[in-house]
């Protein structure tokens, strides 16, 4: 949702959407991570601890890009390189984040993963 809304905001220059974006502490995932079930169930895993940096980067890249929607200059030639670069970094950080989520779940459930591996099924 966050990334999709970022693309919509920038590519359609929708200034009314800009105020809906928050930092990585106050989004749904941030609340899950810092004070919710995520912290409760997964904070003991290495992957959980590694998630903060790419999650913050996703938000930083979006928050650094969306002001052009207010200025209505997102699609100008001189902004293109910055916007593409920011969205590329956002996507790379997002991919890293989803990889870490998979690792986190596996770390937290090693007994189930081992059982699946023993039975010949993949996790």
Structure tokens at 21: 């974006």
Phi, psi of 110 (to 5 degrees): -60, -35
Identify the helix (H) or strand (E) that includes residue 106.
helix 77-108
In the prediction, which pLDDT does 123 show? 53
Residue 111 pLDDT greater than 80, yes or no: no
Domain range 2-118, CATH class: mainly alpha
41-87 tens-digit pLDDT? 999 999 999 999 999 999 999 999 999 999 999 999 999 999 999 99
pTM of the model: 0.86
Q: Domain residues of the chain, as ranges?
A: 2-118
Q: How far apart are CA 87 and CA 27, in angstroms?
A: 18
């Amino acid at each position: 949702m966050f990334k999709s809304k970022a693309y919509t905001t920038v590519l359609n220059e929708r200034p009314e959407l800009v105020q809906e974006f928050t930092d990585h502490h106050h989004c749904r995932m941030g609340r899950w991570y810092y004070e919710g079930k995520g912290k409760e169930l997964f904070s003991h895993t290495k992957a959980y601890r590694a998630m903060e940096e790419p999650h913050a980067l996703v938000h930083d890249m979006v928050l650094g890009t969306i002001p052009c929607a207010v200025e209505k200059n997102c699609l100008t030639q001189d902004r293109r390189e910055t916007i593409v670069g920011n969205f590329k970094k956002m996507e790379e950080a997002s991919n890293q984040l989803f990889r870490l989520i998979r690792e986190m779940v596996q770390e937290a459930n090693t007994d189930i993963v081992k059982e699946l591996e023993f039975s010949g099924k993949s996790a």
